[in-house]
Structure formats: C-alpha cells, structure tokens
Amino acid sequence: MSHHAAPSPVGRRIAVVLFNLGGPDDQATVKPFLFNLFNDPAIIGLPGLFRTPLANLISSRREASAQANYALMGTDYNGGSPLLPETRKQTDALDARLAEALPGDTVRSFIAMRYWHPLTEEAATDVAAFAPDEIVVLPLYPQFSTTTTRSSLRAWNKAYRGPGRSRVVCCYPQADGWVEAQAQLIRKGLAEIGDHPVRVLFSAHGIPEKLVTKDGDPYQEQVEATVAAVAVRAGLKDHALCYQSRVGPLKWLGPSTPEAIDQAAEDKVGVLIVPIAFVSEHIETLVELDQEYAELAEEKGVHPYVRVPAVGTAEPFIATLSDAVVDALGRDGIRPYGPGCQGRWKACPCQNPRMAA
C-alpha cells in the first residue's frame, strides 16, 4: 500500500470522479429518477424511439410502489434515498486520506451520479471549473458491469470537456482493503450470532442473464471473484452467492436471494446476509434486505437472519479507494485495481476494449 508517497514537487491539481447510481431526493423525484434509469440504453437495450415511451410507462407504473418503498426508510431522508448523504461521507473520508497520501497536491473528489443529482453532467461542469491537471475516474462499484460502470463512463466521456489527463479504474473486485473491510464485518456478524448454524449469504444486485451470456458482461465473474476472496479471508465454511432486486420480464442471474433463503430454510441454517456489490446503505439494503427479505426469512423459519452493514467509510475500504487513486496516477489507460485480473476475467475492460467504450 502506498498511502505515504513522497511530497510531489509539482503541486498537481487532481480531480477524483466517483461514479454511483444516484437516488431520488424526495417523494416527488422518485418518478423522474426512475425515468432516467429506464431510459438508459444500458438498462433497456432498445432504440430511443421505443425506449423513451417505455421508460415513461414503466416509471409511471412503478411510481407509487417505489415511493412507498422509499418512504419505508423513514423521515431522515425526506422520503428519498440515503445514497447521496452516504456517498458524501465516503468522499469526505477519501479527501482526508488523499490529502495525507498526496501532500503538496490539491486533491478533490466529485460525485457523478448516473440517474439523479449531482448528475454526471453537473460533475463534469464542476470538474472543468476545478481545472485539474490529472483526473482519476473511480466507480463506487467494485465489480464492473455494462449497466453501471460502463454506462457512467459513457455519460462521463460524453459530458466532460475540460482539461486534465485521465485514468480510469474499471474495477477492484479483489482489492485488499475492500476484501478486508468485508471480512471484518462478517467476522463481527458471526461473533454476534454465536453458536447457531449459519450460512453466509452474499447478495449481489442482479442483472439480466443475457448481458453475461450474450454481451460478455464481466459482472458475474467479478462478483464471484470478490466472494471467493472474502470467503478465504474470513475463513468461511458455509457460504453461498445469490442475486437480489430482480425487475422486469427477462431471466436474471440466479439463484435469487429469496430462493437462497428458501434453501437455507430447507437446510435448517440461519443466514448472515452480506451485500457484496454495494458499498453504502440505500434502498436495496435498508428496505429489500432489512425489511422484505427479513420478513421472508421469518415466514420460512430461517433464524437468525442478520444483515452485515455495507462497508461505507470502514477504514480498509477508504484505504482501497485512496490507494486506487494513487496507483492510477502512476499508469495509463483503464485498469483494475488490486490483485490484477491478469487475463483471468476475459471480458475485463483492461483486456477487452469493447467493454471500456
């Protein structure tokens, strides 16, 4: 780890651009947020002529139930998403760490959300005004997917018209601090549970299966790589991977998280559930995992059902983000951070230019 680099004599201006999905600010912005999501060709792969009316239809149809789900997170978030405030905590921690790691440079993080404010286009304007010498693009998605990181990368490349030399971190599925942060949280969860027989259930956000089989999306491969690394680090005996948040008519990656909970019921084990593709708390952890699936587990007699928090500002995770920035400044192009894929992930953007553009 290289977070105590020598002071830079040049005093560079460095912009770190962090990608995430974004979430509504309040109940009124749930629908336009959903519209932006479903109008993304990375989410619905149809020409705009068909996609845009469909996005209108789906966002209207889902509005009321999505609003109700956002409201379940309580009044702290105005009936909207905690994603932006949680992401700000991470950028504050990252800026503090980078100020130490790169003394003499002026480093600033910018949040670029894909579907709600601060949108990628706004971040691009802010970064241009900062007039950086160097730009490091760093997704808050450890695993690369065409639906998340590539979609944001395309939006960023289209929007950014300012100065600076750019490097892109495509992914960091096995970065040391990321894996360590997960392992620490799991050990703590297991200690709280004590002697009950329990399965560690890694739950990742799903994607349609054909993105992997037909389009070569490396997401599944990279999620599996994270799970393998964390399972070794935490010394797990009984663990499984499943996929949550299925939407729409297509076949998604499986097994689904509800199916995995059924399996735990059959096997008469409790569940320690671990969000493995999200780095902060939001509707998919606070509502789907903590409320919907907790109820399902209760119904099925899966006990205990305990959920590990997302890594958030856990020290080893912020160290990974900071080290990834320092590492990226020392090389060119688009690369993963951490134990490199060394060609193991065929579709990794560093091997496969089609994935990166």
Ligand X SMILES: C=CC1=C(C)c2cc3[nH]c(cc4nc(cc5[nH]c(cc1n2)c(C)c5CCC(=O)O)C(CCC(=O)O)=C4C)c(C)c3C=C
Region from 5-13, 140-148, 182-190, 263-271 binding ligand X, contact rule CB under 6 A: 140-148
Q: Does 335 bind ligand X (CB under 6 A)?
A: no
Q: Are 43 and 37 in contact (CB under 8 A)?
A: yes
Residue 4 marked as a ligand binder: no
**What is the token pair recorded at 123?**
């971040």
| 172 near ligand X, rule: CB under 6 A | no
Question: Residue numbers of the site for Fe ion (CB under 5 A)?
Answer: 336, 341, 348, 350
| Cα separations in angstroms, 85 against 25, 89, 99 | 10, 6, 21
Binding partner selected for residue 350 from Fe ion, ligand X, none, CB under the kind-specific 5 to 8 Å limit: Fe ion
Which residue lies nearest ligand X, judged by its C-beta?
Answer: 23
Q: How far is the CB of 155 from ligand X (least distance, A)?
A: 15
Prior bond to 173 cis, omega within 30? Answer: no
Least gap, CB of 141 to ligand X (angstroms): 5
Burial 61-92 (b: 16+ CB within 10 A, else e): ebbeebbebbbebeeebbbbbbbbebbeebbe
Rg of the chain (C-alpha set): 20
What secondary structure letter does DSSP report for 308? P
Residues 200, 235: Cα–Cα separation, whole Å: 11
Q: Report helix, strand or coil for 243.
A: strand
Rounded Cα distance between 35 and 164, Å, is 32
Instruction: Give the nearer residue to Fe ion in terms of CB position, either 311 or 350.
Output: 350
Give least dist CB 350 to Fe ion, A.
3
Ligand-binding annotation for 209, yes or no, is: no
Tell me if 253 contacts ligand X by CB under 6 A: no
d(CA 116, CA 99): 28
Size of the site for ligand X (CB under 6 A): 21
The 21-50 site mask, x for binding ligand X (CB under 6 A), equals: x-x-------------x-----x-------
Q: With binding defined as CB under 6 A, does residue 225 bind ligand X?
A: no
Q: Which residues bind ligand X (CB under 6 A)?
A: 21, 23, 37, 43, 66, 81, 83, 141, 145, 147-148, 205, 207-208, 245, 247, 277-278, 282-284
